Amino acid sequence: MATSPADVPATRADFTIDQDWDRYTAGEHGVWRALFHRQAELLKGRSTPEFLAGIEKLNIAADGIPDFRRLNDMLARATGWRIVAVPGLVPDDIFFDHLANRRFPSTCFIRKPEQMDYLQEPDVFHDVFGHVPLLVNPVFADYMQAYGRGGLKALGLGSLHRLARLYWYTVEFGLIRTADGLRIYGAGILSSKGESVYCLDDPQPNRIAFDLLRIMRTKYRIDDFQETYFVIDSFDQLFAATAPDFTPYYEELAATEDLEPGAVLPEDHVIHRGIARA
């Protein structure tokens, strides 16, 4: 085990540790292999093509938990991002500072075999399989860095809860509309067996066209599948919509009420499953 709670190596001031890749056991690599095979199969025709392109470019494969040193060689050449190993969730300011400097904090421990279907905290499968492939995409790579800068600003403005919703409904649970229908790009879905099917196939959840202020008003669930997914048309749209200074948005939002996760407003643009065009 690289980082079981008992032997977490001392963290540095920026909370980074060493991945200690050589210490993974055959059993741990086996858990990765099983998760990888299962998601690769489930995500056929469900994940956005940019995700697959990233998986291929970085050679993320079934053989085992990737060595961050190897991934970083390729990632640095592609978009200047690199992965830094952390023991778990890190304080907000530390997290944003990493993103603002194109460093993606990734856990390195892997879930136990009995946690294959659900894990409450991020592990290396969620972080590396779910998040890292899109860092190869130049527009998404820029979005993540801009988010880090915006996070530092939101912290200072007391509006972090608003910005956190944007991360949740894009980076973690985002859907994207392609010519072939809806596809997944959110890491929380890509690394989840149940939700990668539910979010596209189940009639229950709302699928609503991306709307920045609407998202920043909407609470989210951390204990179950999402009640609402927000759908972007492209990473360019996401980047452009989030480029303006958010300070006036935060002021405006202070006068509005929060929305429940499952709320649908008359002005929402509800998107029907599998329909590619607006």
Name the site residues for Fe ion (rule: CB under 5 A): 187
Burial class from Cβ neighbours inside 10 Å (0-12, 13-18, 19+) for residue 178 reads middle
Q: Using CB under 6 A, which of 139, 213, 242, 263 touches ligand PHE? A: 242
Q: Using CB under 6 A, which of 146, 152, 155, 263 touches ligand PHE? A: 146
For 149, the token pair is 């800068």
* Binding range to ligand PHE, per CB under 6 A, among 111-119, 147-155, 172-180, 221-229: 147-155
Which residues have CB under 8 Å from 260's CB, separation 6+? 218, 219
- 139 touches ligand PHE (CB under 6 A): no
- 150 touches ligand PHE (CB under 6 A): yes
Dist. CA 140–CA 50, nearest whole Å:
10
* Binding range to ligand PHE, per CB under 6 A, among 19-27, 143-151, 181-189, 225-233: 143-151
Dist. CA 168–CA 157, nearest whole Å:
19
Q: How far is CA 263 from CA 25, 92, 267, in A?
A: 45, 28, 12
Which residues have CB under 8 Å from 176's CB, separation 6+? 48, 182, 183, 184, 185, 231, 232, 233, 234, 235
Which residues have CB under 8 Å from 132's CB, separation 6+? 54, 58, 60, 71, 75, 83, 104, 106
The binder of 150, among Fe ion, ligand PHE, none, by C-beta within 5 to 8 A per type, is ligand PHE
Q: Using CB under 6 A, which of 131, 153, 177, 183 touches ligand PHE? A: 153
- 243 touches ligand PHE (CB under 6 A): yes
For 46, the token pair is 């469900």
Task: Tell the smallest beta-carbon distance from residue 210 to ligand PHE (Å).
Answer: 12
Nearer to Fe ion, 171 or 271 (CB): 171
Task: Tell the smallest beta-carbon distance from residue 92 to ligand PHE (Å).
Answer: 14
* Binding range to ligand PHE, per CB under 6 A, among 6-14, 178-186, 195-203, 244-252: 244-252
The binder of 156, among Fe ion, ligand PHE, none, by C-beta within 5 to 8 A per type, is none
Nearest by Cα to 196 from 210, 204, 207, 185: 185
Which stretches of the chain bind ligand PHE, using CB under 6 A? Answer: 143, 146-147, 150, 153, 166, 242-246
